[in-house]
Every structure is written in structure tokens, then in C-alpha cells.
Amino acid sequence: MSWMVTGGAGYIGSHVVRALEEAGIPAVVLDDLSSGFEAFIPDGVPFINASILETERVAAALGEYGVTGVIHCAGYKYAGESVKFPIHTYRQNVEGTACLLEAMADAGVTQLVFSSSAGVYGTPEESVVTEETATTPESPYGESKLIGEWLIRDQVRATAGTDSPLRATSLRYFNVVGSGTADVYDASPHNLFPKVIRAIKGGQAPLIFGDDYDTPDGTCVRDYVHVQDLAHSHVAAARMLDFNKPLAPVYNLGSGDGTSVREIVGSLLEAAGSDLQPIVKERRPGDPARIVATGELAADDIEWKMAHTIEEMATSAWSAAPDEI
């Protein structure tokens, strides 16, 4: 009896694997290493080097390791880049999810936790989104995640009343940061934390785009959640499915209030012990002043809690980052 983590060699997925181990739940990793690292997988965890697009291989691995549920973290996660590469994005995130669902059905695996995204909301009218906020994604990435949710919803409906009904939930979140272990870090070339860390390590001042927004310090406010807190709620959702407890179709994992870009940059500079001063550039087109998500529903159902401060997020991210990321 084990849970498979697709994308389990990635930054978020490998933290989920560790959280499963800490909960006493055997884990299996499936990853094609397109953006993950085999070194991120804890020793002793079975690893299948394969893509979620390889339906037969995925189904075989599910059966071989006695998998009872899947935490689906695999995917192409770059919203900005998805505009340049929409076909690749849809193939990985939409076709890949469809292939995974097919493999799960073939193997008789009936539990799924989907790593979705708050990108499904686009730029909402309200500054604090709930699960009821309209979904209006503005990139192929956000669209692909929403279609993934639809695929899962429809498979749940299609299998209801059968001998193997699918039970699933999707978790939506914005910016995942920090590290829960010294040997796993965010290697993305596009995310704010690694961008700032890369600049500091190179002796360059980090950049802030716009300081004249209608926010307390003039810079954009966003949700930043610690990867370990996020991983914990993925596992809590998996355990709820294991115990046959009811779950909502979607949950937001958010702070409810957010943190400004200036605060983030300042925390990382402090963690680095650097006296560099950030450089303010002009606003980027389309950046809303404030978007955060409430996590109240997830707090009630899947143990969601912001257990780490921004300072802890910055310190752990800086400590785990190699000299070159």
C-alpha cells in the first residue's frame, strides 16, 4: 500500500515525498527528470524514470508497487513561458493528466490529489480569492491546470456508482517558496525567490518592478507559502482519501493577507547578510497590485496552516540554495 508522487523529483514533489515518509506512508516517485533531479529523491524511495504520457509504463508501475493513490505534481509549471510554448504546455499538463487518469483506471487506482494552481483565477476582480471566485485563466499554463481539474471532475462523475469510483481533490496555490531540507531547493529560472537569490550570490542588486501600487509599501502583494506547509496539506488530503472522508473538489492554499515584493526581497537580503539595495524598475504590464487566496476551507479539512514566517521562508531558501542555481 503506497502513494505515487508524479514529479516527485521536483522541488515541490520531493517535499511531498518526504512528508509522506514522515507520516509513515510508503512513497513511489515517477518523474522524467525534465526539470527535477534524481538527487532530490530520498534514499530508499522507488523511482520510475518515466513520463506521465507513457500510459502503459505508468499503469505497470502502479500495479508493481501496490499503489493505492496518486499525488499528481508533474507538469510544466511556467506561466510566462507557457505563452511561448502552448503546445508543449497542453501536452504535458492536459494530455499528461488524461494519460495518468487512464493509467489509474487501468490499474484500479481510485484516489488522486492534484497539484493545481491559483493561476486558474487569472486577474480576479476581488483581491482575496475563494474557491467560489470565477476561474478566468490568462495563460496556457492556467488554462491547462483548469482543464486538468475538469478532466478529473468528469472522471469522478463517470466512475461514480461503479466498482472503482475515483475520489479526488485539487489544491490551488500561488507562490511556493522556502525549503524543508538542506538538499532540496527551487531551481526555477523564473520564480522570484531563486531570481533574487541568484542576483545576490552574483553580487547584483535584486530588481523590483514598480513601487507605486496601491499597497502599504507600493510594491505588489502576493501569496507566498512555505513548501513544507504545502506538502503537509497534500499528505493530509491523501490521508483523508485513505480514510474515505469527504473532500471538496478544490481547495485554495493561501495566506489570506499576502506579502509585498519589497518585504520578500528585504527578507532574502537579510538572510544573506547582504547590504545590497534593490533597484526599482518600471511596472511590468498586467501586474495587479494585490492577489492573495484565503485558505479557510483547507484549514478546516486538510490541516492547512501557515506554520512558517516569511523570515523562515527566506532563511531556509537561502540556506538550501547552491552557489549556482
Catalytic residue chosen out of the listed positions 76, 141, 173, 213 = 141
The three-point CA angle 98-121-124 to 5° equals 165
Give the position of cell 489544491. 171
All three cell numbers of 266, joined, read 528585504
pLDDT in tens, 106-150: 999 999 999 999 999 988 888 789 999 999 998 999 999 999 999
Cα dihedral 243/249/253/256 (nearest 10): -120
pLDDT in tens, 13-48: 999 999 999 999 999 999 999 999 999 999 999 999
**Domain segments of the chain as ranges:** 2-175+224-252, 177-223+255-291+307-320
pLDDT in tens, 159-206: 999 999 999 999 999 899 999 999 999 999 889 999 999 999 999 999
Give the pLDDT mean for 253-279. 95
Strands 224-226 and 67-72: unpaired
Instruction: Please tell me the predicted confidence (pLDDT) of residue 138.
Output: 86
Over 90: is that where the pLDDT of 78 sits? no
Instruction: Please tell me the predicted confidence (pLDDT) of residue 288.
Output: 80
pTM attached to this predicted model:
0.95
What is the share, in percent, of the chain residues with pLDDT greater than 90? 89
Contact between 89 and 76 under an 8 Å Cβ cutoff? The reply is yes
Its CATH architecture, for the domain 2-175+224-252, is: 3-Layer(aba) Sandwich (3.40)
Q: Where are the alpha helices (DSSP H) in the chain?
A: 11-22, 55-64, 79-84, 86-90, 96-107, 140-159, 192-201, 227-242, 261-272, 296-301, 310-320
Instruction: Name which CATH class applies to 177-223+255-291+307-320.
Output: alpha beta
Cα dihedral 15/18/19/22 (nearest 10): -160
Over 80: is that where the pLDDT of 325 sits? no
Instruction: Please tell me the predicted confidence (pLDDT) of residue 178.
Output: 97
Q: Which 8-state DSSP code applies to residue 46?
A: -
Instruction: Please tell me the predicted confidence (pLDDT) of residue 323.
Output: 83
All three cell numbers of 64, joined, read 508493481
Lowest mean pLDDT, pick from 270-274, 289-293, 296-300, 304-308: 289-293
Instruction: Please tell me the predicted confidence (pLDDT) of residue 245.
Output: 96
Instruction: Please tell me the predicted confidence (pLDDT) of residue 324.
Output: 78
If you count DSSP H runs as helices and E runs as strands, how many of each does the chain have, helices first? Answer: 11, 15
Instruction: Please tell me the predicted confidence (pLDDT) of residue 30.
Output: 98
Instruction: Please tell me the predicted confidence (pLDDT) of residue 80.
Output: 81
What is d(CA 70, CA 304) in angstroms, rounded to the nearest whole number?
A: 19
Residue 141 bears catalytic tag: yes
What is d(CA 325, CA 320) in angstroms, rounded to the nearest whole number?
A: 10
Strands 27-31 and 259-260: unpaired
| pLDDT interval class at 1 (50, 70, 90) | confident
